[in-house]
Structure 1
Amino acid sequence: MKKERNNGAVKAVIFDMDGLMFDTERLAADGWKYAGGILGFEIDDEKLSQTRGRNVADARNLFFEWYGEQVDYDEARSLRCEYLNGWLNQYGMPMKDGLTELLAYLKEKGYKRALATSTHRNTVEWYFELAGLPMDFDAVVCGDEVEYSKPAPDVFLLAAKKLDTDPEMCLVLEDSPNGIRAGASAGCKVVMVPDLDRPTEEIEKKCLKICENLRDVKEVLKSV
């Protein structure tokens, strides 16, 4: 298949997952604080922001920088997962506003669609099952399938490659600063839909647009 080249138009949309499609980042933050309460460490919102968008290996390194050997990251992560998964099993998967409308619109208009997340594939599949959504994408790239996680561009570059589309013709949808940095470094157009992190001046400069919800992304696509 011949790779599509840039003519100024967007041909593909690449989705992040946590905090962008599913309202899971709040639960994860609560889960880390739950783990801290049990294991006796404090983790504030600034530290949590740094972990968002990163894979397990990178987050483990951050924990070592912050706590040294005083905190066992894997034990803490297990408690965080216990909290998060328990909530999801009890209440179901909370989806972000406008998600199903945007997915239907992209399919109707013939956009290629990809999912590019730092989360491992088995968890991704479970999340979609909980949400009752098919993983109806032209490409899926998960955190355990690239060497470097966000803010490195690897996950988005691989998604664009799987879509056979130039990164400049891909629109990345992200909620986290690390994800925004990764999408911009990949050479993609980037739209932020803020979740827990509000855009700083640095992040605003990397974005084509900042939308308050996924429904508004349709208007962005009509203008590019």
Structure 2
Amino acid sequence: MSKGELHNIAKAHLEKLNATGTLNIDKLSSRLKEMINYAISRHDWYEGQRGKYLSIAIALIAVSATGTLILSKISTHIDHNAIVFFLIALMIIILGSFYIIFKFGTLIEGNYPHREHADIRSWYFRYNINSSKNITDQFNFYVKSWLEYATDIDFAAEDLEQVFILFIIQWHRSKNLNCIKTNFTISMLVATLFIFIGIIVQLCSLY
């Protein structure tokens, strides 16, 4: 599939529908705008959730580091076996938090499959700006390329591309978020289990 192929596919379907006389371009454009706005809001929701887990992960690393320091200072007052369980719990939290940070970073500059095939000249700069450093040449290139799609059918095709691409990005965000949530849940449950065992061991050592 070559660059601009997504646009050509959408345009072909729209032209076929238009030929039947059943295409209301105004209603279609209005609907597509609503779809784009909603898709953007869903994308932002996923980003917000990922951002929350990133903040939690950073905070947990700081808390765990502090906990490790405190354990080292009071180690003479705690059973050796209990300390081992507490340290394992802290290490699990730290490793799980670093994994969350790593997974968050994998989507900072995602290599999405649509980039080589899309051609949305009304929505994204990469399809409108060439490599020339001369601003006049760049503007001339932009105007010529944009006017190639300056028809109602082409605008609708671009909007269809945009919705589709937003769905792809949503899917990646959703998959990434689920992975982060699963890791967070498992690491916290396991860490809690080790902390609980450590407390039991410490209580038993007192008797």
Q: TM-score, structure 2 length as denominator?
A: 0.22
Q: TM-score, structure 1 length as denominator?
A: 0.20
Work out which of the two has the higher radius of gyration on C-alpha atoms and give 1 or 2: 2
Structure of greater relative contact order (alpha carbons < 8 Å, 6+ residues apart):
2
